[in-house]
Chains A and B, each alone.
Chain A
């Protein structure tokens, strides 16, 4: 049995052309990030959660395996989640993707010493590679990073550090600030695996939204005595039409509710996930090399309503 990797990249996505040319962008970004981490000799695994794949389309995991350079293929494990989980778990029929439940599936199964939950279009900077390899990461500390948006329409067909680090290509954005270092937290949440498990991942009690769940995790971490820090170097994000930052201004109210859900009390009210968070008890079967299927079983589905698990920060949560 090989030693667990230092870092697990936890990602979620599906082959649905989200944001246009999703798949090609994802593959390009992932290959770039893996190359950067390999240069720093960081042992890395990729945990991809393919949440409720679009029927009739090839699996994203399969396409990824075919597209990635051979040296990276064995580092990727894909968990394909049965489509029925979306309907069984959602508390908002308009919402199409339970992103943070999907990420919890990955966090529950990742084996790395540190887990970086991020998104498929987030690019690590060279400085970030150095920071991750510096040996200075501490357990019980959520590391956050400033996200730099690259200008919409920039040619990102070939990624390289000169393109990313050039300030002319950046869109100004308010920097993250203490105490929570919040702001697009879903793009970069780095924490040791043990603490991630102690906190039981992201909120999967309030399964009604996609926005603010990352912020809510920071509130929970802070109220649980876990430190939060800015890791220093930035990450890059190539703007696209479907990204929240771009489309929140142009989407209709109905569209916004469907994509992200409505505004909620994510700064004030936290959660205490059940012990079987992240579909822990879902039956699993191997589809092919590195691709696993989480089959549907009602026993793996948390109850629709679990009100005593909605708590205030600082209040003693119930035992799992």
Chain B
């Protein structure tokens, strides 16, 4: 027994159905032979079971189509949403890239400043060194002058009357 040949259907007898492209008489029964079915076919008729099965398939296909449409719609919505998200993400990436570039610029500027600071420190250290060297040399010069001054004073013996500490004679305008 096919799944369409239910007892209820067998009881229903002949049913008349109208299809989309013409009228057809449908006979229902369990004892219909293939030859009879062929004969029915000559008159544009079909067995009720076949009709039911076809209707079921149509309904199933309709449902599947509706479902597919629904899924398609959902997918379309999803795609649109994802496109939007992708666009947003692209915007964010672009902004982040811009930020990274900005920071790169800042880091480069900081590095440059640090390098210049280092150079300045070296210059200061060197300058300080030269300053200390100059001071040391001045110490030596001062010491040498002191020593030479002392030697001069000790070696030059002025007669008592020739004091060099005399105040100079006042000058009068002519």
Contacts and interface: CB of A to CB of B under 8 A. Distances in A.
Q: Do A and B come from one complex?
A: yes
Interface of A: 90-93, 205-208, 264-265, 268-269, 304-305, 307, 310-312
Contacts of B133: 265, 269, 310-312
Taking each of A207, A264, A305, A311, which has the highest tally of chain B beta carbons within 10 Å of its own beta carbon?
A: A305
The 10 closest A-B pairs by CB, nearest first: A91-B143, A304-B144, A265-B132, A312-B129, A269-B136, A268-B132, A305-B144, A307-B137, A208-B143, A269-B133
Interface residues of B, number: 17
10 contacts: A93-B146, A207-B143, A208-B139, A264-B139, A304-B143, A304-B148, A305-B141, A305-B144, A307-B140, A311-B133
Nearest to A305: B144
Given A90-B147, A269-B133, 11 more contacts: A208-B139, A268-B128, A268-B129, A269-B129, A269-B136, A304-B144, A304-B147, A305-B144, A307-B137, A307-B141, A312-B133
Contact of A93 (B136, B139, B150): B150
Contacts of A269: 129, 132-133, 136
Contacts of A268: 128-129, 132
Interface in B121-174: 128-130, 132-133, 135-137, 139-141, 143-144, 146-148, 150
Contacts of B136: 206, 264-265, 269, 310
B6 to A, nearest CB: 106
Contacts of B144: 91, 304-305
B143 A92 contact: yes
Nearest to B149: A93
Nearest to A313: B129
Nearest to A205: B140
Nearest to B130: A312
Taking each of B128, B140, B141, which has the highest tally of chain A beta carbons within 10 Å of its own beta carbon?
A: B140
Contacts of A265: 132-133, 135-136
Contacts of A205: 140
A101 to B, nearest CB: 14
Nearest to B129: A312
A222 to B, nearest CB: 15
Contacts of B148: 304
A208 B147 CA distance: 11
Given A90-B147, A91-B143, A91-B144, A310 B129 contact: no
Interface in B25-61: none
A310 to B, nearest CB: 5
B159 to A, nearest CB: 26
B122 to A, nearest CB: 12
B140 A310 contact: yes
Contacts of A206: 136, 139-140
Given A268-B129, A305-B141, A312-B129, A93 B147 contact: yes
Contacts of A305: 140-141, 144
Contacts of B143: 91-92, 207-208, 304
Contacts of A312: 129-130, 132-133
Contacts of A311: 133
